[in-house]
Amino acid sequence: MEVGAHRQLPITNYQTRRKTVISDAPLHIIAYCCEHCAYAAADLAGGLRMQYPPAIKVVQVPCTGRLDVLMVLQAIEDGADGVMAAG
């Protein structure tokens, strides 16, 4: 192999591997919900037998204004793929 020569990988192979990795991995999303607004709406949705993805874990907080950045960073550090704040 020459100096400076790069090995070309087929794009289709990369795209196939990328789709496999994305589609096989379940997402874990933490939803911090205000107890007066968003949590009440999620509770009502559950009472009406509406479904939402099981990957979403709802955490009740007194107010989303009191949500600390460290709580969000801790959730991501513990393996959450996403964090949602709903108030």
12-21 confidence digits (pLDDT tens) = 554 555 455 5
User: What pLDDT is attached to residue 72?
Assistant: 93
Quick check: 70 pLDDT over 90? yes
pLDDT in tens, 29-66: 999 998 888 888 888 888 888 888 888 888 888 988 88
Cα-Cα-Cα-Cα torsion 45, 51, 57, 61, nearest 10 degrees, comes to: -10
Q: What pLDDT digit, counting tens, does each position of 22-31 carry?
A: 556 688 999 9
Give 18 or 69, the one with higher predicted confidence.
69
Domains of the chain and CATH, by start: 26-86 (3.40.50)
Q: What integer pLDDT is reported at residue 16 of this predicted model?
A: 52
What are the CA-CA distances from residue 53 to residues 43, 58, 79 (Å)? 14, 11, 17
